[in-house]
Chain A
Amino acid sequence: MEEAKEIEAGETATSSRKVIILDPKEIEAGETATSSRKVIILDPKEIEAREANQIEAGETSTSPRKVITFDPKLVINKGILILGFVMRLFAVFGTIGSALAMGTTQESVVSLTQLTLLKAKYSDLPTLMFFVVANAIAGGYLVISLPVSIFHIISTKARTSRIILLVIDTVMLALVSSGASAATATVYLAHEGNTTANWPPICQQFDAFCQRISGSLIGSFCALVLLMLIVINSAISISRL
């Protein structure tokens, strides 16, 4: 075994020697069992000879190539955030569409028994007014939160704003759910009426009005489901930051 030449303890970067430490598996047959590591100290010429055969992986400033790594965790994180943004977009359409559909309903029906013109408008029922207002507020908030969501996709450091968005999303979930179910209760009453309370069903008179207010509930319930998914999505992205 050759002795180590000119090796001094504490040699630093000035030396052009390279130290390769081999794993135990790479020891050739015939080596003694006591040693489990092998240290080879190379000459600069041998370094060049070895490096000429090396794959140019990860070279930075010398070569003009740039290595892009697709870390699967990062891709999944970005995917989750983009999915959240897409769901917000659809929820915007759901809430604002519902508010518009409900807010533009009015119907005039001639009542033959009393010879008067009966008008039905959404503002006659305070619950439907609340529905329109709640969906308008939620739609406005979702529109404002779209650029914030894009900002979250780009930068991963905005922790406080993610939590603020989660808080307001939860409040909006409660608000939309409240508006949609109160309007559903009223629309159900309008369809069926109630004998105990002596409330007549008004849908028999105002058919188109009834259909319109029933249909506008669908968009709001879709937005409700999307808001639930948005809240869960925000929480998952917070936990994976």
Chain B
Amino acid sequence: MERNLHRQLANMKKSLFDQGYLDHEQFTQLEELQDEANPNFVEEVVTLYYRDSARLIQNIEQALEKNPLDFAKLDNYMHQFKGSSCSIGARKLKNECTQFIEYCKTGNGEGCKRTFQQLKKEYSSLKKKLEHYFQFARQVGPLEKACRPK
């Protein structure tokens, strides 16, 4: 029965990779940093990311309401946001960030706003998916410890 849960968890993860939400290499790298003493490290990092980036999202939101737009500031915020997003392996989000930064460079305000709407959707969507994944992982986790020999 445990093997079935493991397979389900692995499938969930594979789906996140295949659909492009997560970068396989980076996310796997983070998981490799987990051990018995730190079994929920990835969840902790992701939680930290969502908490920390909420502030950035808000800053960008406010900056996009200004007229005229301060592209240098927007670029700066987005670089920060892109950095953290990369660190957790958020692939689609990273691409949205890159797009946004391109629009900043060309001074395309409409492009920035459009991309930002897309980005926010992706940000929320990923959060739900990851919450679901970690919730399931926590359930599977203890079973793994129980059946894995020392």
A, B co-complexed:
no
